[in-house]
Amino acid sequence: MAEFDAVLIGAGHNSLAAALHLAAKGWRVGVFEAAAVAGGAVKTGEYTLPGFRHDWAAMNLSLFAGSPFFKTYGAELGQHGCAFVPVAKPFASSFADGSYVGVSTDMAQTLAMIAALSPQDAATWQRLCDGFGAEAPHLFGLLGERMQFRALAYFIFKTLRAKGVAGTLDMLRFLLQSPRGWLGETFAHPKVQAMLGAWGMHLDFAPDVAGGALFPYLEGMAGQAFGMVIGQGGADTVVKALVGAITARGGVVETGAPVVRIVQDGTRAEGIELADGRKIMAKRAVIAGVTPSALKQLTGGTTPAFDERLTRFAHAPGTMMIHLALSDLPAWRAPELRSFAYVHIAPSLDQMAKTYAQAKAGLLPDEPILVVGQPTVVDPSRAPQGQHALWVQVRMAPGTILGDAAGQIAATDWESVAEPFANRALDLLEAHAPGTRASVLGMRVVTPMDLQADNANLIGGDQVCGSHHLSQHFLFRPMRGHADGSTPIANLHLTGAAVWPGAGTGAGSGYLLARRLAGN
């Protein structure tokens, strides 16, 4: 019977980050993953044709590259092959009239794009960027803070000292605003509002959802200041390096090893049982990188109150992925868009709100939001010479289909809906980039239920592992009193995107947990 200091369930990047930190502190760690490869939603494969490397779900690694975890372990991960490609033109939005607006690390270029729509908004953009250096420590400090009352109180005290009462209240008001609320009072032109508002849709923040203003602001300012990074050769560069570093420190990462039960004595977690019958014991901690509902299944029950709140954990609408192997980049009606890593097709705040409402109602949106990733613009190694891999997120898509908002698709099972709904998305792409279909060499459609089948944490295709609305964020992620990943069972801890600070590739929940367990 194998024994470790810490046993981790799942090999997502949060679990792997926790494992590496614990291993560095002298713990012997074992990571057990049900899938054939580590990484969870952060993985890369030839999903269309040989030679075309597509990121399965996550592509943008800026949060990981800028994280406190990477600051500590970046050099070590580099020794194990972790490499990034910088992106100077991180994102833009394409509009039906052939116009566009985007963000470049060249301030003059960004200002020129915005000024072409609104000189007033260009001046506002300059003012926001000039003030970002002063605001960033407070906002990033909050996102990196432990969500415990004492830690939060200390953060508020520091903020009050730095910003005063008025400045602190202004920041609190901003944190409570919806994307539309902040964008509407900050920018005049609807296309500039739409360019930034599209980022809220990445994290379940439709334009009118309270608490969502932070994300369009941070993505806009960070994109301007730092650009974006993607993984050289694929997002799995991070995962391969994490596994290599853990193994080099004496840890074990085993794939194809589903966990069926957490072994406990009623009050304390003692280890795990695998599907093949093996028991793996843990002397100091069992760390579950799973959804709250899965934790209840693995434990068989904890306390009635805790289990009831696990059941109430709410998930965001799903996502469909379309992976395309292309003979050429899309011929955007605005040719300049061929140089951006991300192109959003999200025409207005009103349309985003409508799409979100339809998906939440279980309807296939009549006009989904598209996030078109063009990684081969900056990393040609991902496709054969002269050809391209395209990464298309179709947001929002209901995991359980109740109908079609357009009244055109009668089926309600994803196996039947995949092709016609993918065609709806591709029709939209074609309208913005005529001729794209003619350049398709290969295609792989991944439905929300395909995502869930591949990774049980992505319930209904929810790539962010739970809604980030205010009632389920900050101190309430995944629930009040347990934002640090603690559970009623001693030595059992929860990590992953369901735990504060939530989704994204920043490894925040895993690193915060490991530091708490190791004492630093």
Digits of tens for pLDDT over the chain (520 positions)? 799 999 999 999 999 999 999 999 999 999 999 999 999 999 999 999 999 999 999 999 999 999 999 999 999 999 999 999 999 999 999 999 999 999 999 999 999 999 999 999 999 999 999 999 988 887 787 777 777 666 666 677 777 888 888 888 888 898 899 999 999 999 999 999 999 999 999 989 999 999 999 999 999 999 999 999 999 999 999 999 999 999 999 999 999 999 999 999 878 999 999 999 999 999 999 999 999 999 999 999 889 999 999 999 999 999 999 999 999 999 999 999 999 999 999 999 999 999 999 999 999 999 999 999 999 999 999 999 999 999 999 999 999 999 999 999 999 999 999 999 999 999 999 999 999 999 999 999 999 999 999 999 999 999 999 999 999 998 899 999 999 999 999 999 999 999 999 999 999 999 999 999 999 8
How many separate domains does the chain show?
A: 3
Count of beta carbons in the 10 Å neighbourhood of residue 266: 6
Residues whose CB is less than 8 angstroms from the CB of residue 50 and which lie 6 or more positions away in sequence, other chains included: none
Residues 153 and 165 reside in one and the same domain: yes
In angstroms, the CA 364 to CA 158 distance is 46
Residues 445 and 471 in one domain: no
User: 14-34 in b/e burial notation, b at 16+ Cβ within 10 A?
Assistant: bbbbbbbbbbbbebbbbbbbb
Residue 300 shares a structural domain with residue 280: yes
Beta bridge partners of 272: 262, 280
Please return the burial class of 166, using the count of CB atoms within 10 Å of its CB with bins 0-12, 13-18 and 19+. exposed
Measure the CA–CA gap between 311 and 291, rounded to whole angstroms.
10
Residue 103 lies in a domain: no
Q: Are residues 19 and 61 in the same domain?
A: yes
Half-sphere exposure of 100 (CA within 13 A, CB side): 25
Q: Where are the beta strands (DSSP E) in 95-251?
A: 100-103, 228-231
Compute the distance between CA of residue 446 and CA of residue 208 in angstroms, rounded to an integer. Answer: 28
**Which of 176, 201, 225 finishes a domain?**
225
Classify each residue of 473-486 as buried b or exposed e, where b means 16 or more C-beta atoms within 10 Å of its C-beta: bbebbbbeebbbbb
Asked if residues 462 and 472 have their Cβ atoms less than 8 Å apart, the reply is no
Q: Domain for residue 102, yes or no? A: no
Residue 26 placed within a domain: yes
CATH of the domain at 265: 3.50.50.60
Do the Cβ atoms of 272 and 32 come closer than 8 Å?
yes
Q: Establish if 93 belongs to a structural domain.
A: no
Residues 326 and 345 in one domain: yes
**In which domain, by residue range, is 168 found?**
111-225
Query: Domain boundary residue among 454, 478, 503?
Result: 454
| C-alpha distance from residue 359 to each of 45, 47, 402 (Å) | 29, 27, 10
Of the candidates 460, 32, 4, 37, the one whose C-alpha atom is nearest the C-alpha of residue 288 is: 32
Q: Contact, 402 vs 418, CB < 8 A?
A: no
92 domain-assigned: no
DSSP E strand stretches across 81-216: 84-87, 91-94, 100-103
**Cβ–Cβ < 8 Å for 91, 344:** yes
Cβ atoms of 56 and 500 closer than 8 Å? no
Question: Last residue of some domain: 415, 431, 454?
Answer: 454
10 Cβ contact partners less than 8 Å away, ≥ 6 residues apart:
31, 32, 33, 34, 40, 288, 289, 290, 457, 496
Specify whether 326 is located in the same domain as 376: yes
Q: What is the CA radius of gyration of the chain?
A: 22
Question: Alpha-carbon distance 179 to 435, whole Å?
Answer: 34
Q: Are 253 and 246 in contact (CB under 8 A)?
A: yes
Secondary element (H or E) of residue 113: helix 107-115
CATH code assigned at 325: 3.90.660
